[in-house]
Structures are given as C-alpha cells and as structure tokens.
Amino acid sequence: MFEHIDAVDEALAEVARVLRPGGRFIFCLNHPLLQTPGSGWIDDQILDPPEQYWRIGPYLIEQATIEEVEKDVFIRFVHRPLSRYINAMADSGLALERMIEPAPPQGFIDRAPEYTEVTTIPRLLTLVARRSS
C-alpha cells in the first residue's frame, strides 16, 4: 500500500511514532525493481523461438503514474527506488532487520503456468524493521 501513498516519509514517521520502542514493523510492497513506470511483459517475436521477458523502466526516478490493473480499473502508483524506503525508515528511527524477496507461491504458478520460467524472480518485497529505543 505504501507505493500508493504520496507522503511516504510522513507515513513511515507515523508508523515509528505509534510503535513501542523495540516494536517491529513488517512492510510488504511490490518489488520496486520490477514495478517501475513503463515496466511490463514484452513478447519478443523476433527471436526463434519467441521469448517473453519483463521490461524494467527507469528505476532510480521517483514517479507517480496511473495503472490500469484490470479493464476500466485505474490505480495511482508511486514508484520509488528501494533506497528511498530504507532511508525514510532509518530517518524515522526504524532499523532494518530483514529483507525478504519471496518466490511466487506454487498456487500462483498452478493458476498461471505461463509464469513457470519466472519463478526465480520475486514480485514482492518484505522489509522487517524494528523501532529503536
């Protein structure tokens, strides 16, 4: 959800404010490397056999875009590089303890077998932080 918030610094500062000293914050978001403006699947028909790959847009540029997540459903999305989130957490007194990049779950692959080849690419990112005392 933080990728849909403009005031990310204020939001993370509020998380730190309401946590007790030593309290943990588990932060899940779409992986910033893969969810960049202009990213998406590319069907390369020039290759033989044809290949499909994920195009990565301008990763280091913080930018708001509107995405059509399904037909006629649009959501505002703010891309930020990972360092932007980590630094905002640190500035708020949240210390990173873990970074988890889970593989897509088997149930997802079972429902969408065309993604079998990308099971080594994480779509999500989980950050575990603790409020300093």
Query: Using one digit for the tens of pLDDT, what is the confidence trace for 72-121?
Result: 999 999 999 999 999 999 999 999 999 999 988 888 778 877 777 777 78
Residue 59: per-residue pLDDT: 93
Q: Which residue has the tokens 């779409």?
A: 30
- Percentage of the chain with pLDDT > 90? 54
Q: How many CB atoms lie within 10 A of CB 127?
A: 20
Question: Which has more confidence, 62 or 47?
Answer: 62
Instruction: Tell me if 8 sits within 8 A of 35, measured CB to CB.
Output: no
Choose from 16-20, 36-40, 122-126 the range with maximum mean pLDDT. 16-20
What's 39's domain CATH number? Answer: 3.40.50.150
The total domain count for the chain is 1
Residue 71 to residue 61: CA distance in whole angstroms: 27
Residue 109: give the domain boundaries: 2-131
| pTM flag (> 0.85) | no
Cα dist from 37 to 11, 26, 80, 111, 131, whole Å: 22, 25, 10, 26, 31
